Structure 1
Amino acid sequence: MISPRPARFRIPPAVLFLLLLTGLRSAPALPPLTSPDGTITVQVQTDKRLTYDVRHEDRPVLTASTLSLTVDGVTFGHAPRLIAATPRSHDALLRPDVRQKAAEIREHYNELRLDFEGGFVVTFRAYNEGVAYRWETTLPAAEVKVFAEEVGLNFTGSHFAWFPEEQSFYSHNERLFLPRALGDLAPQNLASLPIVVDANGLKVALAESDLEDYPGLWFTGTGGNGLAGTHPPVALKEELTGDRDFRVTEAAGYIAVTKGTRTYPWRILGLARQDRDLLTNQLPWLLAAPSRIADPSWIKPGKIAWDWWNANNLHGVDFKAGVNTRTYEYFIDFAAANGLEYIILDEGWYQLGDLFTPAPDMDVPAIIDYGKKKGVGVILWVVWKTLDDHLIPALDLFQKWGVRGIKVDFMQRSDQAVINFYHRVNREAAARHLLTDFHGAVHQAVLTRTWPNLMTNEGVRGLEWNKWSAHITPEHDATLPFTRQYLGPMDYTPGATRNANRDGFAWNHFRPRSQGTRCHQLALYVVFESPLQMLADTPTNYEREPAMMEFLRAVPSVWDETRALDGRISDYVLTARRSGRDWFVGAITDWTARELELDLSFLPAGEFTLTEWRDGLNAGTHAEDFKQATQTVTNRTKLRLPLAEGGGWAARISPK
């Protein structure tokens, strides 16, 4: 609903009339735009340059931050001439098709739309959770070239940021989020999204949303207290190496060729007083375009038995395990026995470069039919370029076979053409009732509201990196909920049964393990968001772990409510989520053992049964040591949660 209360401010028409009559270049001072709760203030200046300041609780955060858009040789935002300023307030309750964090999301903001001469508009919004703005153009040309968009963020102090540094625009966006002083970041230091800035304790998350027919936003340093937006240019020439590495070999001097009349992506500054507030900040989802799927009833989130991380390493079976029909029938049996909705056929199921020819030992239609009999859907992995070259016939074949979804991999780009590819695949997949899971880049994570069949997205340095590196530490895990997850669901793929302490870890491609404790892995199913959540390890390893499977069978992949109870970036997280009448709680820590307090006052009245999976007394030296226990609790109960080094704690809380 639209709030009926009167607008907060309005530029007097007489003032605007006199401005136009006298032909003055300077504009009258605009009253500030404030968030509904009054804690955030945006002051826009429209004099010589279009700039804005942001304050939080009377503390300056950004000052004289700049924005401009250069289209067909004209730079909008320099010497702007204001025509009209239109305020608006909005307050509504939204119900997402896929419940990533909650069944209901409040959309509450104040808005200021600024119309300028020349056919361009800038709209600012102030939410209680942050600030966003976007461009809009109404130009006479049907098609225009966008040469640049300036996104200049000038912070008011020498802050530091969790900066996912990249080598180039050609990237999987699977980065480490490492703290860097803004002053140490030069224009050659490039980062993908999101970036989280610590502005004297206030966290500022940089993101975008409603990205379509336009390149993704990246940032560079400035050598000072700022960050500067940048975009990958339009590709003029490309070169394919193998079946997947499709690199730009010649780029244009512009970033997009697009419609003259359109809106542009939102630029987002999510603000969080406490680190944990980032975990429930919904601005990227709220600012996305509404769903384009008229009837989403066929979309079914769920959990997946995954083959690739564990290299199909079944054991104790009476057949040769590998990429073959019998192995995947076993995966289906395991999924059916444990209430998992899907299995995936990852790399190897087809002859690379040819989506229409399965591998010699794979009868894909038979596997899919076997899954149907067991109530288990099949998702197919595909290389993006191979799919794009044969999109319609390939998706038609998958639909004919009865495939439930596709996992699209290796894009490694976010220029305009590849962003359009993401939309095209989601649209065509939805028309055939296929779910999508995008790997190999991060920007499509902001499309999950527009295309609710897009279940999850990689662009994250996840568990698979344990197969060839030591990067996936408990500290990294405790960083991701505040950083990468801000954009949307992430296909991190938790669930390792072979766990190692700091000194006992060694990477192994075919029999991988995780860093941190067993309970750390279990807690990730609550801490991390992914409506299509993987079980990364081999079924025969899980079958040896009945206590672990008791939790993994029960934990949902979508949620009715999320409570961020405690957390500090890179140190620890404590999250509670509700599904129906059941609550699930997950806590993880870095390599520092610590004790957290769990206050159960969020529970309704009555008695509940709490079943916990906690680090064992010897988890500090044997990471797989854990204890399962049950107790009765109420909303007056407070618990102490002891976490080992790299440890975790997970629980299910059900009404008695």
Structure 2
Amino acid sequence: MRNFLLVLLLLTTGYQAKAQPTAPLTARLDKVSLTVALDPDGRPTYTVSLGAKPVILPSRLGLALADGKGFDGPMTLVGSEMKDVDNSWQPVWGEVKNIRNHYQQLTVHLRQAAAPGRLLDVTFRVFADGVGFRYEFPAQPALQYFTVQDELTEFQLPADHKAFWIPGDYDSNEYAYSTTRISQVNSSNIEAIQLKSAPERVQTPLMLKADNGLYLNIHEAALLNYPAMMLNVDTKTFSLRSQLVPDATGTGAKAYLQAPEHTPWRTIIVADNAPAVLASKLILNLNEPIALTETSWIKPQKFVGVWWEMHVNKASWNYADTSNIKLAGTDWTRLKANGHHGANTANVKRYIDFAAQHGLQSVLVEGWNVGWEDWANNWKEEVFDFVTPYPDFNVTELQQYAQSKGVKLMMHHETSSSVTNYERRQDAAYRFMKEHNYDAVKTGYVGRIIPRGEHHDGQWMVNHYTRTAQRTAENQLMVDMHEAVRPTGLHRTFPNWLASEAARGNEFNAWSSGNPPEHETILPFTRLIGGPMDYTPGIFQIQLESWNPARNQGKQVHTTLAKQLALYVTMYSPLQMAADLPEAYEKHLDAFQFIKDVAVDWDDTRILLAEPGEFLTTARKAKGKEEWYVGSITDEQARTQTVKLDFLTPGMKYEATIYADGKGASWDKNPQAYQIRRQSVTSKSVLKMQLAPGGGAAISIKPAQ
């Protein structure tokens, strides 16, 4: 007891020994300024501004704990520290070669005014393009194990901004975006994918545009051991309040923590122009440095795969008819082949040959393993074992064939959201991969989560995604996660986590109402703010009826072919799929040349033109080469984009190959019309790009021979 009192005394007096600060406290870098104060009731608040323009009006901070003794009441300010940081670092892969990490940090020490007098720190980092802050729980006798019931963080907007949003669904982010004023947010008429969202709850990243020309983005960074943050919208006051994803207990509990601990960073990116939002590295800078000591095995790459043919109803994931599973039971040798199974040895060899011929590094194969007949979204725990192939998929033969062609096979692990089953089997599955020369895996989490009642974006699953990134790294395996929580910059810490889906991808064009042409102009400002997306671009057979007229009637991708090429530049990922079938590319090998040429790792990126929901033009310099690639896309509106090439090295001559929409092209009536032209350019050249409705242009720029 004497030791306990001594520790408490030291902790308390240690804080009191600091000079008593006078509220408000401020921090500033360039035009971004932050103020922290206590309101008249003693509750901490913060404000953010960009120059003279308010970004966030006084907004509440705090957390409610399950024991009723949280940080949601009056607090006293017992100390603060300020420091300036300015350094740089180099990512293993990324959009730029070097990243500057420059901020002013303000740490505010708070103590509950009432018993038990628990301590809470709030650390703010002010960058030239925004603010990040998080709650930190120091080690202290009065707070050891605790449960976060609610987070009270608010973002009080000064006006009724234009917003680009999707519903705050705890289990899916695969929605088309709505563009409305904050006062008009209402998802009640949007069909839920998994869990019905509260009508005025939205997901982050939330992109906002103010009438005074400000652009801001609200998200989070370094999501670890904590649920994802949604936002509850007050449509009358324009206030946003954090809503954490709950756990399975039904008590409303959100996070189970043990001090010392901290939350993820809450992030506000702000700029007076749209390109600056896309250029921000604030979220990456708020993540911890790389956790790996050796990274030579991590290789950005392009791949093809047995995948799209299932989406367009040309083949199936399952080997047998679903009804046959009742007769076979668990004896997979009794399954009767349906004749449509895509992942058969001969078909996979066809993809390997195509990859080898065109210099693509890998071939993804979905539907290779037994269990697809037994799934049917029945919330069954043990469906897949991740090591048993179907009878027509010869693992050893394909391993040897791929090696002979200099191509890698990419593993697919669909978990059916039975995550407990996957975690039990991960070690065996990764051993199987290593034994058969796989060095990358695509995981999937389709369906309702097991443990039953947990959510895709809750603390339990967030920890699973992190464990999977760690376990694959321990086995020197790269990972691409689908149906996972949206990224928050963790690829800085775990660069083997190459990409995620976590949004409405290109596949939705095959079996739903599709993605509207504006979709790809919004995603870089929303989903991609947190990290790269496996969007699966490169569809050349835009109209899908030819694959299966009976089942694909009227279905098509909602872009032009040229826009599909441009997406390789505008939708950043170090893992890019040439998503269409080989026979679709063989009809247009002249256009396929851009997919062969375009890089997946970069030394420099320039956002040349941008407006969320309307258009985007991006230029990127290939890693270690004097080659630039430009992608330009538009929404439903035809546009002329003027592209200055002043990013090229002065005095050098280049040849530009321009892949553009053809005469009369449009996403809905003439999507496959394209033209290719070449011209000499220098840093003084200016190109005018004619973009068709739902169209785009892609440019490769290489030194002249």
- Using a 3 Å threshold, how does the CA distance of structure 1 residues 590 and 487 change in structure 2: closer, same or farther? same
Q: Which residue is equivalent to 1:322?
A: 342
Do the aligned partners of 1:193 and 1:217 also contact (CA within 8 Å) in 2?
yes
Q: Which residue is equivalent to 1:123?
A: 123
Q: Which residue is equivalent to 1:434?
A: 477
Partner SS for 2:476: coil
**Correspondence 1:361-380 to 2 at 5 A:** 361-380=392-411
In the alignment, structure 1 residue 596 sits paired with structure 2 residue 641:
yes
Unaligned residue ranges in structure 2 (runs of 5+): 1-12, 112-117, 187-197, 315-338, 373-382, 447-454
> Aligned-pair distance for 1:312?
8.9
- Using a 3 Å threshold, how does the CA distance of structure 1 residues 591 and 444 change in structure 2: closer, same or farther? closer
- Using a 3 Å threshold, how does the CA distance of structure 1 residues 515 and 500 change in structure 2: closer, same or farther? farther
Q: Which residue is equivalent to 2:98?
A: 104
Q: Which residue is equivalent to 1:9?
A: none
Q: Which residue is equivalent to 1:514?
A: 557
CA distance in 1 between partners of 2:476 and 2:35 (Å) = 46
CA distance in 2 between partners of 1:549 and 1:541 (Å) = 10
> Aligned-pair distance for 1:267?
0.2
Partner SS for 1:479: helix
- Using a 3 Å threshold, how does the CA distance of structure 1 residues 324 and 445 change in structure 2: closer, same or farther? farther
Q: Which residue is equivalent to 1:183?
A: 183
Partner SS for 2:433: helix
Q: Which residue is equivalent to 1:611?
A: 657
Partner SS for 2:61: strand
Supply the AA of the counterpart residue of 2:523: L
Do the aligned partners of 1:312 and 1:327 also contact (CA within 8 Å) in 2?
no
Do the aligned partners of 2:90 and 2:98 also contact (CA within 8 Å) in 1?
yes
**Correspondence 1:124-523 to 2 at 5 A:** 124-138=124-138, 139-140=140-141, 141-166=143-168, 168-171=169-172, 173-185=173-185, 188-200=199-211, 201-223=213-235, 224-236=237-249, 251-311=250-310, 322-352=342-372, 353=383, 354-384=385-415, 385=419, 386-410=421-445, 413-444=456-487, 446-499=489-542, 513-523=556-566
Unaligned residue ranges in structure 1 (runs of 5+): 1-12, 21-26, 237-250
TM-score (norm 2): 0.83
Do the aligned partners of 2:153 and 2:241 also contact (CA within 8 Å) in 1?
yes
Partner SS for 1:624: coil
Q: Which residue is equivalent to 1:93?
A: 88
- Using a 3 Å threshold, how does the CA distance of structure 1 residues 418 and 609 change in structure 2: closer, same or farther? same
Q: Which residue is equivalent to 1:4?
A: none
RMSD: 2.5
Q: Which residue is equivalent to 1:247?
A: none
Q: Which residue is equivalent to 2:27?
A: 33
Partner SS for 1:567: strand
In the alignment, structure 1 residue 42 sits paired with structure 2 residue 29:
no
> Aligned-pair distance for 1:499?
2.6
Do the aligned partners of 1:469 and 1:507 also contact (CA within 8 Å) in 2?
no
Do the aligned partners of 1:607 and 1:634 also contact (CA within 8 Å) in 2?
yes
Do the aligned partners of 2:89 and 2:100 also contact (CA within 8 Å) in 1?
yes
CA distance in 1 between partners of 2:311 and 2:677 (Å) = 32
Supply the AA of the counterpart residue of 2:659: W
Count of residues paired in the alignment: 611
2:699 aligned residue (642, 645, 651) = 651
Deviations along 1:456-489, one digit per CA (max 9) or x if unpaired, are: 1111111100111233122111111122111110
CA distance in 1 between partners of 2:230 and 2:261 (Å) = 21
- Using a 3 Å threshold, how does the CA distance of structure 1 residues 50 and 473 change in structure 2: closer, same or farther? same
Whose strand proportion is higher, 1 or 2?
1
> Aligned-pair distance for 1:120?
1.5
Supply the AA of the counterpart residue of 2:432: L
> Aligned-pair distance for 1:253?
2.8
> Aligned-pair distance for 1:368?
2.5
Q: Which residue is equivalent to 2:7?
A: none
Supply the AA of the counterpart residue of 1:368: Q
> Aligned-pair distance for 1:29?
2.1
Identity of aligned residues (%): 30
> Aligned-pair distance for 1:529?
0.7
Do the aligned partners of 2:306 and 2:343 also contact (CA within 8 Å) in 1?
no
- Using a 3 Å threshold, how does the CA distance of structure 1 residues 314 and 189 change in structure 2: closer, same or farther? closer
CA distance in 2 between partners of 1:563 and 1:375 (Å) = 34
> Aligned-pair distance for 1:356?
2.2
Do the aligned partners of 1:309 and 1:512 also contact (CA within 8 Å) in 2?
no
Do the aligned partners of 2:462 and 2:485 also contact (CA within 8 Å) in 1?
no
TM-score (norm 1): 0.89
CA distance in 2 between partners of 1:422 and 1:481 (Å) = 23
Partner SS for 2:34: strand
Deviations along 1:416-462, one digit per CA (max 9) or x if unpaired, are: 11011011111111111111111113334532112110111111111
CA distance in 2 between partners of 1:514 and 1:170 (Å) = 25
CA distance in 2 between partners of 1:33 and 1:512 (Å) = 53
Do the aligned partners of 2:301 and 2:600 also contact (CA within 8 Å) in 1?
yes
Partner SS for 2:427: helix
Do the aligned partners of 2:658 and 2:697 also contact (CA within 8 Å) in 1?
yes
